[in-house]
Amino acid sequence: MHNRAAVMYDTHDIRLEERPIPEPGPKEVLVEIRAVGVCGSDVHYYEEGRIGSFVVEEPLILGHESMGTVVTVGDEATKHEVGERVTLEPGVPDMTCRECRAGRYNLCPNVRFFATPPIDGAFTNYVAIHEDFAYALPDNLSDNAGALMEPLSVGIWACRKAGVKAGDHVLVTGAGPIGLLAMQVALAQGATEVTITDVSPQRLELAEKTGATRAINVSEEPLTGVEVDALIECSGNERALGDGIRSIRPAGIGVVVGMGPGEESRIPLSLIQNKEIWLTGTFRYANTYPAAIELAATGKVNLDAIVTGYYGLEDAEEALQASRKDPANVKPMVVPNR
Amino acid sequence: MHNRAAVMYDTHDIRLEERPIPEPGPKEVLVEIRAVGVCGSDVHYYEEGRIGSFVVEEPLILGHESMGTVVTVGDEATKHEVGERVTLEPGVPDMTCRECRAGRYNLCPNVRFFATPPIDGAFTNYVAIHEDFAYALPDNLSDNAGALMEPLSVGIWACRKAGVKAGDHVLVTGAGPIGLLAMQVALAQGATEVTITDVSPQRLELAEKTGATRAINVSEEPLTGVEVDALIECSGNERALGDGIRSIRPAGIGVVVGMGPGEESRIPLSLIQNKEIWLTGTFRYANTYPAAIELAATGKVNLDAIVTGYYGLEDAEEALQASRKDPANVKPMVVPNR
Amino acid sequence: MHNRAAVMYDTHDIRLEERPIPEPGPKEVLVEIRAVGVCGSDVHYYEEGRIGSFVVEEPLILGHESMGTVVTVGDEATKHEVGERVTLEPGVPDMTCRECRAGRYNLCPNVRFFATPPIDGAFTNYVAIHEDFAYALPDNLSDNAGALMEPLSVGIWACRKAGVKAGDHVLVTGAGPIGLLAMQVALAQGATEVTITDVSPQRLELAEKTGATRAINVSEEPLTGVEVDALIECSGNERALGDGIRSIRPAGIGVVVGMGPGEESRIPLSLIQNKEIWLTGTFRYANTYPAAIELAATGKVNLDAIVTGYYGLEDAEEALQASRKDPANVKPMVVPNR
Amino acid sequence: MHNRAAVMYDTHDIRLEERPIPEPGPKEVLVEIRAVGVCGSDVHYYEEGRIGSFVVEEPLILGHESMGTVVTVGDEATKHEVGERVTLEPGVPDMTCRECRAGRYNLCPNVRFFATPPIDGAFTNYVAIHEDFAYALPDNLSDNAGALMEPLSVGIWACRKAGVKAGDHVLVTGAGPIGLLAMQVALAQGATEVTITDVSPQRLELAEKTGATRAINVSEEPLTGVEVDALIECSGNERALGDGIRSIRPAGIGVVVGMGPGEESRIPLSLIQNKEIWLTGTFRYANTYPAAIELAATGKVNLDAIVTGYYGLEDAEEALQASRKDPANVKPMVVPNR
């Protein structure tokens, strides 16, 4: 067994190197990684070297949308067997702070999250993780689907915050992987009209193929005449957010998932007041993995539909550049043992 | 134009007679009824002459799951046109009481509800109703579907109370029309496992055909090994309720839709305490019709699938007896202008 | 009986004139006004001639925080007797629109609201109002208290949205009448720490006298070291809002009550995302009057404590100028029959 | 240092014996107990030897409402100092199960809870506890108050479930210590009318002294004419529960805190349906201690008011018999180092 890793040394500088195989702790399992999705945040670290206050100061392994096969089980770990395919929830919280005790473990200030400095991620052959954060995958799910439980969780979390229910109308702004999956979850949760916006014709086409009832290219036509129960903002674009908020019905909900460029944003606050709209944001997710796995396993969401390319570990850098080069390359996958 | 009506004079005594065509008030529309579903409550009045404190003391027209065509529009009514197909929300509240002002108009103590003494229902050719309680039907929906927006609303309301969301496991006890439709709504709202119970093999078969992931004949096998996020009790049976509550996970929700025989019931209260389960019931529904129409129009629920027979107005009594004679006759429809 | 009214003809132009006594409709009561609070929105109309899209284009009677004595009862009105002291809820919604049916009657697009063009307000001797929007006052409440049920309702509504509960820490930004009353409601609803900010020492002093556990003059010291479950923003100031949002704990709630100068505002959106804060606003209130009356009658809030001056109808213009001239004059009252 | 303990060997058999002083684990603190309240569940174990499925099979130390002084701090514990007065949250959950991850740690199936077989309680001189479940007490709180944070937490939890807010009317059935404290919390959380019922004149008198707006001796007069937003049932009596549910307004909430004699109870289920009442129960509490301490420290609740007697460790048995002998002896305290 060797453990190779695609290590980010600096912006635009990824190096393939040999790393020791991690030793799983007593409650951990060692997982041989089989598939890792490339996320916008990986791309952001690769290009900018930081996301907000998180700065890459030491060599860092990127990748946090991952799955693999259990190869070793820690002495006190009882939940998994060698050979089991598992998907990995990439953030392990402390489970003692106020947020964890209140069930908001995604807001734990001490969480250790894959590919967030200084914690390494999954563009590597082997990863050790606490057994509670690995989840068995049903046989009818592909490796890709297993890895994409992570962005699916983001979509589930957004739809939970949005309170989507049968008969709702939903607006998703931004048809990247998160927007596309949030859209599928909204449909699975009963939305009867889901409008999605983007500026990429290919992404909008994919949105329509995967269920959007209306797709609007906002570089060509304005977003008008839409009144929705919930907005799920996935573009990180201030104008999309403003137009989105203007589309929310009285007492509706806006959930901001996409991250904008700075700390502050301009929003139509008077509308939030006059229509008593609720606005919130999501930071990762909590308690979503079991639902994610079932939604995919029952066919209520289709994760394979958004996979657009495969890359070996040695091509991780190419994978990180893929989406920017071609917006149609929505979800490149890194396959470490290719 | 003649207005015939199937009038209940006493238990087991329905008579077809001529009635004056109602004169719509200024904000009302006159509707020619085209389809009416037979509901368990109609059957109950027919057989017992009362439901709880509601007693049939004067001749009463039954039927409250109805749709038809607008034939006259009141002077001040502006929402509908002659010729429009509409489904009728059968309860018109006062919109001034505390409950109405709080948005709980289904709990209005002064509501006038079809086929609830002394208010007449829809087993007749013509009905006048406030324009706000008639809703236009899309062309792709059948007359049956239009009439069945009413029991679908019951299912939607139950699922709203149950808070069904993507990935939930749901137990529906009782596979009559309400149970079958609540089940479909639960699936449409994202439930990935829906277990349904009944004692009729035909009803369970229909449940499986329309989406149940598991159907249990509780006359043959006990309800065990099921842990659900939400119970939707649609049988009115005390034992089903008890077994259902025992199946709810900690902090889960039980929604009692089916009406039992008396005012009181025995329930496993200690479980409600130890697991902090929330138990509630539904009384009709509020603000459900737009969602109901969209769920049916988008194919997320299939209303035609539960229709099992057609009866003219002159056969209304036969329609009222149909379900009891044959449990497989889940939803007999009365077609007044047949 | 004469009916005098202080009528706004233009900005800074109030004229006292004789008006016909209104004829109450069948479900209305005629009320002789005894006390009216001056609200910031009255001042805004007086100074700017408009609030957002509401423009004073015809002569308008200002004043919407009012109480009085019933002098005539409409033919079909049954809820009040001549001589009864009543407080008036100044907005009468249509009770048929989607918002009203959902219980959000404050968001009714067709509401007729006192002193909002073109609907006249209460700086006058006689007003007619639907009986459902007049509420009997207990004898132990002063006329002032009766009139101030309106701003108290704003505070109650804000605290309901904020979900204040026993043991919560709350930040109120802005110690004008709304901030002061929201603060009192937060304390009454169990908050154990309520920090209030303003730039007026007199207002902050009043805040401390009426229960604030900490009062910060933000013109002198920055708002730091405060972490709250809920923010209630009552200043309309963008910086106060930003600093307030920065003070909200993870998953806490911010309620924006104060109106800013424009449609848009800059807010620290990334914090709302990273801490999953919920932000909303209030527009008036719904279903608050019974609670308001009881809170005052039981002494849980003290409305008289914020009254700072009395003006006859002929001095209404002076009353409208009072707060701007002297920030300590928090709540001037107009007493029409003085 | 010696460690004495009042050990229950069998029903009606408490023996004072010497026990080894517990060795605190690395994250634990050793606490010298100064005050312990006697709870109804202690009495129940003493008299019946069991509560539901929890059976006293080995000698057990009772007592779980406790506070004391930190005397030793574990190697890795950082939150407390020697000499600090602390109140003890008596249940330590596993923080890894589904319930804990969702923030419902009170429903953790693996919780280790004081005085619940086979876990020992606090009728002893020394107890070791995880540092996260000890909370520093402000100086202005008495030892009694420190111990009674536990039953206060039960009251807070009930009021959270009941959603008590400003202006609410609340019914508390049962004026034992839990009912009395739930009542105080309801008042602190804004309830303007709190009716309390019991059959003991002394308990009702204490209720009135501590804030009840109405106290009804249901052995003398029936509970009628009360309509409340929330019921908090603290008597464990089926009739009180039934009458209580009949007093809940449409869409109100009933919270069952008192434990009945068996697994099942008869309830007026048809009312729960027709009025869409929400019924739930409480099992201990979660995330309440910080709020409890602040409510007491700010004087919003008065814990000392319910203390009715003091007993040394050698008189623990007498303390356990006190309430049954004299219902006015609402809350006997065991003071181990007396």
Q: Are D149 and D87 in contact (CB under 8 A)?
A: yes
Mean pLDDT in residue range B212-230: 96
Across the strands, what pairs with B87?
A: B67, B135
Q: Are D322 and D332 in contact (CB under 8 A)?
A: yes
Q: Which helix (H) or strand (E) holds B71?
A: strand B65-73
Task: Indicate if the pLDDT at residue B337 is higher than 90.
Answer: no
Distance CA C91, CA A202 (A): 50
Mean pLDDT in residue range D238-251: 98
List the subunits that have 3+ CB pairs under 8 angstroms with C.
A, B, D
Q: In this predicted model, what pLDDT tens digit does every residue of B302-321 receive, in sequence order? A: 999 999 999 999 999 999 99
Find, in chain B, the residue whose alpha carbon is nearest to that of C97: B132
Q: Are A39 and A65 in contact (CB under 8 A)?
A: yes
Q: Are A196 and A323 in contact (CB under 8 A)?
A: no
Q: In this predicted model, what pLDDT tens digit does every residue of C125-142 receive, in sequence order? A: 999 999 999 999 999 999
Task: Indicate if the pLDDT at residue C270 is higher than 80.
Answer: yes
Mean pLDDT in residue range A65-81: 98
**Three-state DSSP class for residue B266:** strand
Burial of residue B296, with CB atoms counted within 10 A of its CB: 0-12 exposed, 13-18 middle, 19 or more buried: buried
Q: In this predicted model, what pLDDT tens digit does every residue of B135-155 receive, in sequence order? A: 999 999 999 999 999 999 999
Please give the mean pLDDT across all residues of chain B: 97
Distance CA A294, CA A153 (A): 12
Q: In this predicted model, what pLDDT tens digit does every residue of D266-324 receive, in sequence order? A: 999 999 999 999 999 999 999 999 999 999 999 999 999 999 999 999 999 999 999 99
Shortest CA gap C104–chain B (Å): 7
The residue behind tokens 């004679």 is B325
Distance CA C254, CA C256 (A): 6
Q: In this predicted model, what pLDDT tens digit does every residue of B4-47 receive, in sequence order? A: 999 999 999 999 999 999 999 999 999 999 999 999 999 999 99
Distance CA C149, CA C301 (A): 11
The b-or-e profile of B234-271 (16+ CB within 10 A means b, else e) is bbbbbebbbbbbbbbbbbbbbbbbbbbeebebbbbbbb
Mean pLDDT in residue range A60-85: 98
CB contact D249 to C (< 8 Å): no
CB contact C287 to B (< 8 Å): yes
Task: Indicate if the pLDDT at residue D338 is higher than 80.
Answer: no
**Three-state DSSP class for residue B76:** coil
Find, in chain A, the residue whose alpha carbon is nearest to that of D103: A103
Residue B53 pLDDT grade (very low, low, confident, very high; cuts 50, 70, 90): confident
pLDDT of residue C338: 73
Residues in A closer than 8 angstroms to B159, CB to CB, are: 165-166
CB pairs under 8 A between C and D: 67
Query: Which among C192, C295, C297 has CB closest to D166?
Result: C295
pLDDT of residue A311: 98
pLDDT of residue C238: 97
Residues in C closer than 8 angstroms to B287, CB to CB, are: 98, 101-102
Task: Indicate if the pLDDT at residue D147 is higher than 90.
Answer: yes
Task: Indicate if the pLDDT at residue C217 is higher than 80.
Answer: yes
Mean pLDDT in residue range D14-33: 97
Q: Are B199 and B227 in contact (CB under 8 A)?
A: no
pLDDT of residue C337: 84
Mean pLDDT in residue range C78-92: 98
Q: In this predicted model, what pLDDT tens digit does every residue of A93-106 receive, in sequence order? A: 999 999 999 999 99
Q: How big is chain C by its Cα radius of gyration, in Å?
A: 20
Mean pLDDT in residue range C181-185: 98
pLDDT of residue D337: 84
Query: Which among B96, B101, B132 has CB closest to C103?
Result: B101
Q: How far is CA B133 from CA B30, B93, B112, B286, in A?
A: 12, 10, 12, 11
pLDDT of residue C75: 97
Residue A52 pLDDT grade (very low, low, confident, very high; cuts 50, 70, 90): confident
Task: Indicate if the pLDDT at residue D52 is higher than 90.
Answer: no
**Three-state DSSP class for residue D135:** strand
**Three-state DSSP class for residue B117:** coil
Mean pLDDT in residue range C183-188: 98
Whether ipTM exceeds 0.85:
yes
What is the percentage of chain B residues whose pLDDT exceeds 90? 97
Q: In this predicted model, what pLDDT tens digit does every residue of B75-123 receive, in sequence order? A: 999 999 999 999 999 999 999 999 999 999 999 999 999 999 999 999 9
Quote the distance between the C-alpha of residue B39 and its chain's center: 7
Shortest CA gap B209–chain D (Å): 30
Task: Indicate if the pLDDT at residue A1 is higher than 90.
Answer: no
Cβ-Cβ contacts under 8 Å for A74 (sequence gap 6 or more): A24, A25, A26, A27, A28, A29, A131
Half-sphere exposure (CA, 13 Å, Cβ side) for B124? Answer: 28
Task: Indicate if the pLDDT at residue C1 is higher than 80.
Answer: no
Question: Among C191, C188, C221, which residue's Cα sits nearest to residue C204?
Answer: C221
Distance CA C216, CA C213 (A): 10
